[in-house]
Amino acid sequence: MSRIQQKRHAIGALIIRDCPHIHLCLCQEKRMFTIPLHRTLLLSRLLCFAIGCLLFAPSAFGETYTGSQSPGVWNQTGNWSPATVPGSGDSAIFNTDATFTDFDGQSVGSIQSTSWTLKFDAYETFTMDNLGSDAVMDCYVLQFLDAEIQFADDLDINVSRELFTTNTIITGNGTLHISAGGFGWKVGSNTIVDANTLDVSGTHYIRSSTSLPDLEGVTVNFGSYTQLKADWSTSSFLGLNGAHLVMDSSYQIFVHSSNETIELATWQVGSTLLPPGTYDINSASIGDANFGVIFSNGGSTMSITVASQAMTYIYDGFYLPGVWDAADNWAPVGVPGSGDTIQSSTDVTFTDFDGQAAGIIDMPDWWLTFDALETFTMDNLGNDAVIDSEVLRTYDTELQFTDDLNIYVSREFNSTNTLITGDGTLTVTVGGFGWKGGNNTIIDADILDVSGTHYIRSSISLPDLEGVTVLFGSYTQIKADWPSSSFLGLNGAHLVMDSSYQIFVHSSYETIELASWKVGNTDLPSGTYDVNSAAIGDADFSVIFANAGATMTINVAAENQQPLMFGVNLAGGEFGDARSLNYGYNYIYPNESEFDYYHAKGLDLIRIPFRWERVQPTPGGALRSEELARLDTVIGYAQARGMQVILDMHNYAHYKLADGNSYLIGSTQVTYEHYKDVWNKLADHWKNQSNIYGYGIMNEPHATGGTWPIAAQAAADGIRLVDSTHWIIVGGEGWSGAHSWRNYNENLNVTDPLDMVIYEAHQYFDDNNSGTYNESYDDEGAYPNIGVNRVQPFIDWLAEHNHQGFIGEYGVPDDDSRWNVVLENFLAHLQANGVSGTYWAGGPWWGTYPMSCEPDNGVDAPQMQIIELYTGE
């Protein structure tokens, strides 16, 4: 017992001894018992010791780091006094500098290292969790190198000399407070802050030789004490893009050399919330600002753009008929735009609305009419746009939408000389008299969903739906009301209809030419169908002809065919720990010379592996711009040479979280929605990239317990929300083995309204199908047609289900020429069956890997003499 503890114990004992008649009260089931303490000396001594310890003992959870292991290993008990490893709620006290290289999954409530340097240096995760209170890091110097720091509530980082972060993610649900004196917060590359709020008002300098932290979606509080400094000509402030910036009016920005525009979500200077617009911060007259901008080089400029914020406008009909951009028509006075909500307490007809926009039109009890040769845009800033009215009429109008548009009409939707155009899904739900299509209604969207509409009626023709995926439900009836009516607007559409769907034909003798047709669960093959017969697919729908003798046939065009191509995998992007961000050290993407070599060989299909964790460090979070930029560069190399790219998410149906554990897609930690989200965002990023052959949604899923089809459908759905151009490539359960395909994937059937799904298998030719090739050709049991035989179950399955296929990986070692015979027979068999493939593997880091097809000092690998014979041309 220390001298201080002895004194505290003595004080506690005196309190008890000097009051011998105090009674000890014991409560049990609401009954009170009293024991005179002068009769229970032993009990009194025990009690006084306990009270003394509770009142006066130091923190029971205050381990001191002694540094017996160097570099530091957090979970070594010998590093701590007492010899226990601190955890959540505990305080870690340092009496020496410490560098931790092994700290994954560890946690602590507070760190006290006020006179020492503390460094976290590994691709691992550390959690600050103070059990409901603010977690605290109090250091002299604090360095995060290649680390993820998580905090459970709020985290206060107090550094007296310098905070340095590089390749670091700091993530939590609350507020991150950073107070850094001395040299301030020095930001290296790839620093990401994912918190609700970042408060740096107590930090003097935020300095960077590369860029600010990635702060998209974060509220950032800057105070007058802070200076924001870009120290070098390569420095950038673009990490502020998408942030909500709150800064003091006397704030100072120091720019070394910059000519860039920052795009903020919101910006508050002093007490002024600035309206949307672009601001030249060379001028101090912004809001009530008195801040200064210091440019070290003449001619540098910087501007800040503030995004539009959604408002609600009420139309009061001052001008009739309605003029959209008359500010006096609206309360508040102004003109609504993208993201804004429009309401009205009266019927309204707009005759002047060209170039205007809204996010939501909320008029469920009123009639809304657009009547002019003009264009109106529904843009809800990344969310579904909505038109909700009793009656909707669009005459001589182009209605545009930027994402998805949901039209809800309770009585009637009437469209004449109308073009409705957008990149996503148009959902039209109409009750009452339904959707009455007049002359020249054209739909130019990815998907038209009318499954919630009761009647689609026309006295002329259906809307022009060429190239559109049209979803009809059993609730819908399509009706041609007059002898002159026509269904020819469906020509070229991809029709998906419920098996109990009903068609009402007044008088028709026509043939509809569909791009594809799905009835119930059946994808109908190309051919001609007589819809007078109900025996189509698994259909139970009915066709009602008003006049005897009327007929209708539907032709289904030949299905989409993937281009037959062969190529190689260029591996490297999947190397290393999934959460490692040290590019060029732990993982690599192919360089330009790789594309030169394989293009010269005629191998113009390149499969590029990448890790989910690197493009999206947090499931459901923002995509990581640095990783996307690297992949964009690789895609650009291919495009410049006329080569096609498959983007292969190389994750085996699992995702490694910051806690160091890998979780199956569909678990509570990594949900199907997370998986849908990442592919939705990736497809949105690449949807206009013309040289993408397809999206490889998952490499070699395995151990999913039969849930892989659910996950695969989620990814496909996410892609099709934004991308109607690219193929979706679906690997199979069971490591995608072609030889065992039927054991795991008999019921794998991903629904795509565009019918652009390719199923991907892998096949190796060694004894255990693994591609390790640990034995000789003879000991592996190989023979010339072993590849042909092993891939046949997959090829048979494709033919039986009318699916298209792709072999994403196959390869042979370079130590026996007989393997080349196996490879040639295998490739010839794929080509004969119209199945494309990519050899495993090329790439810059293979070294002596036996299956590598990389040249060695300018000399082709032995396998290349076979590989280059099969290009698909």
The residue with tokens 């794929």 is 830
Main-chain dihedrals φ then ψ at residue 869, nearest 5 degrees:
-75, -20
Does the residue 449 lie in any domain?
Answer: no
| Distance of alpha carbon 367 from alpha carbon 158, whole angstroms | 60
Set 700, 733, 780, 824: catalytic member: 700
The total number of structural domains in the chain stands at: 4
Instruction: Yes or no: say if 486 and 513 are a contact pair by the CB < 8 Å rule.
Output: no
- Enter the tokens of residue 119: 């460094």
Q: 659 and 541 in one domain?
A: no
The whole-number pLDDT of residue 35 equals 37
pTM, full prediction: 0.47
User: Three-state SS string across 346-376, please?
Assistant: CCEEEEECCCEEECEEEEEEEEEEEEEEEEE
User: Is residue 46 in some structural domain?
Assistant: yes
pLDDT computed for residue 48 by the predictor: 42
Q: Is 91 within 8 Å of 110 (Cβ atoms)?
A: yes
Cα separation, 857 vs 842, in Å, equals: 14
Task: State residue 26's pLDDT score.
Answer: 33
Question: Is position 390 within any domain?
Answer: no
Token readout for 348 is: 């309204």
Kindly report the length of the chain.
Answer: 873
pLDDT value of residue 43:
43
Task: Kindly name the residue from 574, 627, 809, 854 that is annotated as catalytic.
Answer: 809
Tokens of 203: 């930090």
**48 with 118, same domain?**
no
> Residue 726 is encoded by which pair of tokens?
């690219």
Alpha helix segments (H runs only) across 651-809: 672-686, 708-720, 741-745, 786-801
Q: Could you tell me if residue 787 is inside a domain?
A: yes
Q: How far apart are CA 524 and CA 171, in angstroms?
A: 49
Residue 486 is predicted with a pLDDT of: 62
Residue 575 is classified by DSSP as -
Same domain for 619 and 717?
yes
Is residue 120 situated within a structural domain?
Answer: yes
Q: Does one domain contain both 130 and 21?
A: no
Grouped pLDDT means (10 residues each) for the chain, 873 residues:
32 32 32 37 43 38 71 88 91 91 92 92 90 93 92 94 92 92 86 90 76 80 69 63 79 60 82 77 57 59 76 77 87 88 92 93 94 93 92 94 94 92 91 83 89 74 79 69 61 78 59 82 78 58 60 74 91 95 95 97 97 97 96 97 97 96 96 97 96 97 96 97 95 97 95 92 96 95 97 96 95 97 98 96 94 96 97 78
Largest interatomic CA distance in the chain: 114
Same domain for 526 and 635, yes or no, is: no
Residues 246 and 265 sit within 8 Å (Cβ to Cβ): no
Q: Are 730 and 757 in contact (CB under 8 A)?
A: yes
Distance of CA 666 to the CA centre of its chain: 15
Residue 557: predicted pLDDT: 77
Tally Cβ neighbours within 10 Å of residue 831. Answer: 17
Do 469 and 536 lie in a common domain? yes
45 and 157 within one domain: no
In a domain? residue 812: yes
Q: Are residues 232 and 95 in the same domain?
A: yes
In a domain, 625, yes or no: yes
Q: Please tell me whether residues 116 and 207 are part of one structural domain.
A: yes
For residues 503 and 605, membership in a common domain is answered with: no
- Cα angle for residues 129, 135, 141 (degrees, 5° grid): 115
Active site residue 809: yes
**Token reading at 50:** 């306990």
Phi, psi of 12 (to 5 degrees): -65, -40
> Distances in Å between the alpha carbon of 171 and those of 109, 125, 168, 174, 284?
16, 11, 10, 9, 34
Residue whose structure tokens are 């381990």? 63
- Looking at residue 295, its pLDDT comes to 57
| Domain-terminating residue out of 306, 322, 355 | 306
Instruction: From 306, 335, 367, give the residue that closes a domain.
Output: 306
Give the residue from 504, 525, 559 where a domain finishes.
Answer: 559
Domain membership of residue 544 as a residue range: 460-559
Residues 681 and 537 both lie in one domain: no
Alpha-carbon distance of 317 to 322, in angstroms, equals: 7
Q: What pLDDT, on a 0 to 100 scale, did the predictor assign at position 470?
A: 87
Q: How far apart are CA 559 and CA 802, in angstroms?
A: 10
Asked if residue 862 has a cis previous peptide bond (ω within 30° of 0), the answer is no
Crossing angle between the packed helical segments 3-17 and 41-56, to the nearest 10 degrees: 130
C-alpha–C-alpha distance, residues 561 and 239, integer Å: 43
108 and 223 co-located in one domain: yes
Is 761 contained in some domain? yes
CATH of the domain at 592: 3.20.20.80
